[in-house]
Homo-oligomer: A and B are copies of this chain.
Amino acid sequence: MQAIIKARPEVGLELSDVPRPVPGPRDVLVRVSKTGICGTDRHIYEWDAWSAGRIKPPLVTGHEFVGIVEDTGVAVRSVRPGDRVSGEGHIGCGHCFCCRTGQTHICANVDILGVDVTGCFAPYVVLPESNIWKVDPDIPDDQACLFDPFGNAMHTVMAQPISGQQVLVVGCGTIGLMGIGIVHAGGADLVIAVEPNPVKRELAKVMGADVVLEKADEQTVKDLTDRGGADVMLEMSGHPAAIVEGFRCVRNGGEIALLGIPADDVIVPWAEQIIFKGVTIHGINGRRMFETWYHCESFLRRRPKLIEPLITHRLRFDEFEKGIKAMQDGSACKVVLDWTDAKT
């Protein structure tokens, strides 16, 4: 079958013929319909320091998908051929402390689809039964292939109460924008978005931000809120200066959820911004299995247009390079690839 692979430890991805994966006794084989391109895929394409240290070529990449079950292993009971499914890309070991206590998303021995093991940028992908999610028929394929990034946003938002809260969202990339949509739909009192890029600031308004700032500013946020700062800060930028300024905008006793991955050191005024203020900070990784998936499904089937504005490119699988270029030049938000016509 055709697949998008990282063939060699260098820049680029290529379309190549690889063998179709075979499900083991607990696995499910899925005929992939659509996939989303993640920022992680772009990093792998660009062969940055993280990719070079983690990826072992050759590797089929990709971890965001929707498709139809084609076959199941002998021990599989809850999924059947013909089921329309997406899947969780964090594959837990099943026996570490986290896996045994409902925290598989932070399994100490996790394998990630398309990063550590064969991914979904192909017409077929294999996942363990326990990672499969049957998709509600009311959610179209274009959205259904985006449970992974939408789930990142959902997990970040749901790390603390949102209804009636005054929320600061720092960073309006794809996940930040999804987060704004969730916070808005979740009954927040006030949604303040921070983003330097004017195009994304416009999208932030479309997604439901009440106020959009080019830069977080402690005094501005304090003036906008009526309790001495934001109740909640969702950090989606990964930008060290923005993170620190975001901390300053949070009220005493507020909550902070951190998702954005910084490339440089983050130096938060430890005593002033964490200890004296008595804040609570949540590190966010992946999606809770499967509380987050239930939440995603709930929000998407009730609001079918929620993340529609973020899908800027719908391409054939073999146009993937065009998609990555659009992500690089900033013209794309979310790129969806169609695998219907791929050689199987």
Contact = CB atoms under 8 A, between A and B. Distances in A.
Contacts of A75: 24-26, 75
Dominant secondary structure of chain A at its interface with chain B: loop
A283 B278 contact: yes
A77 B94 CA distance: 9
B105 A278 contact: yes
Interface stretch (A1-9, A172-180, A183-191): A183-191
Interface in A269-298: 270-271, 274-285, 288-291, 293-295, 298
B271 A261 contact: yes
A95 B77 contact: yes
Contacts of A77: 94-95
A161 B159 CA distance: 11
A108 B271 contact: no
Interface stretch (A196-204, A252-260, A325-333): A252-260
A81 interface: no
Nearest to A255: B280
**Closest 9 pairs (CB-CB, A-B):** A102-B102, A189-B298, A78-B95, A97-B227, A186-B187, A163-B186, A274-B283, A281-B281, A164-B295
Nearest to A285: B278
Given A158-B164, A280-B281, A295-B164, A228 B96 contact: yes
Interface residues of A, number: 74
B290 A100 contact: yes
A266 B277 contact: no
Contacts of A253: 98, 101, 103, 106
Q: Assembly of this chain: how many copies?
A: 4
A304 to B, nearest CB: 13
Nearest to A295: B164
A317 B277 CA distance: 34
Given A162-B187, A258-B275, A281-B281, 18 more contacts: A75-B75, A77-B94, A97-B226, A97-B227, A102-B102, A102-B103, A103-B253, A106-B252, A108-B252, A161-B161, A163-B163, A163-B186, A165-B298, A187-B187, A262-B271, A277-B283, A278-B284, A280-B280
A206 to B, nearest CB: 18
A269 to B, nearest CB: 9
Contacts of A186: 163-164, 186-187
Interface of A: 24-26, 74-75, 77-78, 93-98, 100-103, 105-108, 130, 136, 158, 161-166, 185-187, 189-190, 226-228, 243, 251-253, 258-259, 261-262, 265-268, 270-271, 274-285, 288-291, 293-295, 298-299, 302
Given A75-B75, A96-B228, A227-B97, A275 B280 contact: no
A181 to B, nearest CB: 11
A288 B96 CA distance: 16
Contacts of A252: 97-98, 103, 106-108
Contacts of A268: 266
